[in-house]
Structure 1
Amino acid sequence: MTAVQSTAPAIRAPFVLLLRVSAVLTMAVMLWQPTMAGLFTTGRVSYLTLHDIGAGVAALLAALDVVAAVLLRWPGRGSAALIPHAVAMLVLVGVQMALGFTQLVAVHIPLGVLLFGMALGFTARAFARRKS
């Protein structure tokens, strides 16, 4: 039993790293998105294209967050607390993309602020110290 306990942190380490890298990249894209949208308001259409590409990247990274949270948890390597947070972000990114494509800016902008806050919280939780 002692051997299993001593190797648990070593087995878990790659999954913690994946979660942390994914979380930081997600947070960076969530900051990139309003920057590109704001620059689009200066009249340069190319920034809207970058904002559109960023939406796809945000969706991929949110999906990676879910995968990383599940891999960290399964089987019994970590807490399941990050999984609902990651799933909620993934769902809200999909809603955010739909709102952006339909140009419902009055809801799109506040939801973007919420998503950045969620990404920031997810990243903080990914870096929080946990018992192994």
Structure 2
Amino acid sequence: MEPTIYLFFNGNCLEAMTHYAETLGGEITDVFKNGDAPPGEDRMPGSDDLVMNMAMKLGSATIMASDAPGQWYSKPQGFSVSLSPSSIAEFDRIFQALSKDAESISMAPGETFWAERFTTFKDRFGTPWMLNYAGSKAS
């Protein structure tokens, strides 16, 4: 069994997940929009362009997502999507792309006792991230 990350967005799911796929080298495998569903109870309230469900393959993991319109949406809290880039250069590239116009950067990139470089931030879509490059401090 392998866990799947499922993210919710406030109307910008397709934009966010496309950005993540381009930045992280993922592949969007499925996108189902509100307009694809038959009329009636199976549709979300709102535009036909809202994403009901989508999936991105990232390595051996799958990240799934959807829009959560209006009263269904709440800001993410209590978790972070954690990535371990393979080099400082890759860390810096990912950080630059994901933190552009960030909602907040709670810990700027820097060295810690466990990692050569670490950071935590919320991107412009509200997704909380942790990047960790252990480097020579890996156990």
Structure 1 length-normalised TM:
0.29
Instruction: Please state which structure has a larger fraction of its residues in strand.
Output: 2
**TM-score normalised over the length of structure 2:** 0.28
Higher relative contact order (CA 8 A, sep 6+): 1
